[in-house]
Chain A
């Protein structure tokens, strides 16, 4: 199995842009789609990005996803940060049959 490594925490000011990375330990990041989930305290996760860069309906276009084959990583970028974006963010991908979640990144908007 592979691992997905995320920074433990990131912080940025309202109105700014932040990028959260997710690095795959083995196997190509390109080969299997990456999803991103947002989890606010006390709530179930919600999907904010799927299939690398697709936004579910209802997710603002301030959220964008990308992959970088050179670093074998995926990224979630949030622009125009709002205090409501403060949450934990998890990347997720899969291999032949199993799913893997990243360890999660706590985003603080201060």
Chain B
């Protein structure tokens, strides 16, 4: 069965960077886009961007451009999302979510979420 297992919770200081991993299993990793979604405490879902695991191509929401980098390691079927220059309002749960064969295709599977806390 399809599983997305994310790395554990992180506590970071303002100005630092965080890298969250998402290990996929149960399907052909390179065949499906991976999205990242942020959810601040008590707030809604916010799309961060996507990566095409086959080509490594990425697209980021304008709000995060310049601070976010999405990568993948196909040898271990793992996607990564790194966010730099962290601020206190970056405190949130980050989800990886497997889409379809194109960027437009809907999410069918979600990771369990990774809580990133930014605090001095």
- Residues of A near any B CB (own CB < 8 A): 1, 32-33, 35, 37, 39, 44-47, 50-51, 56, 88, 90, 92, 94, 97-104
Contact = CB atoms under 8 A, between A and B. Distances in A.
A47 B98 CA distance: 11
9 cross-chain pairs, A with B, having the tightest CB-CB distances, nearest first? A50-B106, A104-B44, A99-B47, A44-B110, A35-B106, A101-B45, A103-B44, A90-B45, A94-B104
A98 B58 CA distance: 11
A99 B104 CA distance: 8
Given A32-B104, A97-B59, A98-B59, A46 B44 contact: no
Contacts of A88: 44
B103 A44 contact: no
Interface residues of B, number: 21
B59 A44 contact: no
Given A99-B35, A101-B44, A45 B110 contact: yes
A101 to B, nearest CB: 4
Contacts of B112: 44
Interface of B: 35, 37, 44-47, 50, 59, 61-62, 95, 97, 103-104, 106-108, 110-113
Contacts of B47: 92, 98-101
